Amino acid sequence: MSPAAGPWLRLLSLGAAGAVALVVATGEHALPHDAAALVALALLGGVALAARFGHPDRPELLLASTLALGVFIVQIGLGGVLALTDSAWARALHVGLGAVSLAVAAIAAAACFRGGAPVPRGSWRDYVTLTKPRIMSLLLLTAAGGMLVCARGVPSAGLLAATLGGLALACGGASALNHVIDRDIDRLMGKRTRGRPVAAGRIPPARALEFGLALSALSFVVLASFANVLAALLAVFGNLFYVLVYTRWLKRSTPQNIVIGGAAGAVPPVVGWAAATGNLTLPALLLFLIVFFWTPPHFWALALLIRREYAAARIPMLPVVKGEPETARSIVRYTLLMIGVTLLPFLAHTVGWLYLASALLLGGLFLLLAVELLRETTPARARRLFTYSLAYLALLFVALALDPIVLG
C-alpha cells in the first residue's frame, strides 16, 4: 500500500480548494478576485509538486492535482483574454472553467484524505529542525535591516510582521527541501548531519517534502496578500535558487558552489526592501551584494573545519579540491571585496557616518582574522573566523538599520 498523504499536504489541498472557491465567489470584484487567483495558484502548485515528487505511486492524486493546476492556469489565461476583449464566449468559458477548477481541486483534496500506509510522524522538534532556525534568524535580521533602511525608520508593525513572517515561511520551506535533497550526503558527513530528521529516518522524505512545499506556498500567500507581489516573487526566486540551483546542482558539481549559490542567501534584504517600497532600486542591489560577497569567506571558514566530512561525501568544496592554503587565500581576497562592497551604501548616500564607521571597524576585524588564518591555517583560527562572521553580518545590518534612525 502506498503511504498516506501527510497533514501538511492535506492542509495545503484544503487551502487550495478554498482559494479556488474564493476566486469563483469574487468573480465580479476585480481586486479581490485577482488576489485570490494568486493565492490559489501558489497553493495548487504546491499540491501538484507534492503529489509529483512525494507520492509518484498515487496516480489518482497526481492526476487530480495536475489537472486542477492546469485547468486553473487556463482559466487565468482566459481571464486575461476577457479583460482585453470582453467577449461573450470568453466570459462563458471563464465561468465554466471556474466551476471545473473548483470541482477538480475538491477531488484533489479528497484524494489527499484517502487511506494509505502509515509512516513515522516525527516530533515537532524534528519539524522545527527542518527549518534551520539559526540560519533563518540571521536571514530575517538582514531582511529587517533592508526594511528599516528604506523606511528611514521603523515601518508599520503589521507590514514588518507580515514580511518577516512570510520570509520565515520561505526560509523554513527551502531548508526543509534542502534536508530532503541532501539526505544521502547527510548520512556520510558524520555526527553533525547524520542525526538530521530525514537522514536518520525520523521523518520520511515525502513528509518533509510536503512540509517544505506547504511552507513555501504559504510564504507566497502571506507576502502577496499583506506585503506585495514583488516581495512574494523574490522570495520564490530565492527558494528556487537555493533548492534547485545550489543544493541540487552547484553544491555537488563545482568548488565555486558557494560563490554562485550565495545569491540565494542574499535575497532576504531585497525582499525586505521590496516589501517596504514596492520596487527595486540601487540601494536594494547594494544590500544584495553585501550578503553575496560575505557568503564565501563565511562558508569557507566552516568548510575548513569540516573538510574531511565534505571529502567523505564527495562534495567539491574549495578546501577539498584546492586545499587549505588556497582556501585561506581565497578568504582574504573575498574579505577585501566584501569590505569594499560594504562601503558602497555610504558612497551612494543611502546611509551616513554611523554606518561607515561600523563597516570599517567590523570589516577591519574580519580582515585581521582572515589574515591570521592565512598565516596559520588551523581549526582554531577557522572556527574563530566562522564565529565572528556570523556576528559581523548581524552587527553590520544593525548598523544599517540604526543609521537613519540615529542620524535622521
User: Which CATH number belongs to the domain containing residue 400 in this structure?
Assistant: 1.10.600
What is the torsion angle, in degrees rounded to the nearest 10, for the CA atoms of residue 229, residue 234, residue 238 and residue 239? 10
* 204 domain residue, yes or no: yes
Q: Are 267 and 234 in contact (CB under 8 A)?
A: yes
Q: For residue 312, give the 3-state DSSP assignment.
A: helix
Asked whether the CA dihedral 391, 292, 227, 13 is positive or negative, the reply is negative
* 344 domain residue, yes or no: yes
Other beta carbons within 10 Å of 116 = 17
Task: Name the stretches of the chain with pLDDT < 50.
Answer: none
Residue in this structure with the C-alpha cell 580582515, named with its chain if needed:
367
- Domain match, 88 and 153 both: no
Which residues form the domain of 65? 7-112
- Domain match, 55 and 162 both: no
- Domain match, 47 and 140 both: no
- Domain match, 98 and 199 both: no
- Domain match, 253 and 151 both: yes
- Domain match, 98 and 136 both: no
pLDDT at 1: 54
Whole-number Å distance between alpha carbons of 100 and 250: 41
pLDDT at 28: 66
Whole-number Å distance between alpha carbons of 265 and 268: 7
Show the CA angle centred on residue 218, arms to residues 390 and 401, nearest 5°. Answer: 35
Q: What is the pLDDT of residues 367-388, one digit of tens each?
A: 999 999 999 999 999 999 999 9
Q: Which of 82, 112, 142 is the last residue of a domain?
A: 112
Helix or strand holding residue 69 (H, E):
helix 59-85
- Domain match, 130 and 213 both: yes
Other beta carbons within 10 Å of 357 = 13
Q: What is the pLDDT of residues 9-30, one digit of tens each?
A: 999 999 999 999 999 888 766 7
- Domain match, 75 and 176 both: no
Closest CA to 349 of 277, 281, 272: 281
Q: For residue 117, give the 3-state DSSP assignment.
A: strand
Count of domains in the chain?
Answer: 2
- Domain match, 38 and 102 both: yes
Q: Are 12 and 50 in contact (CB under 8 A)?
A: yes
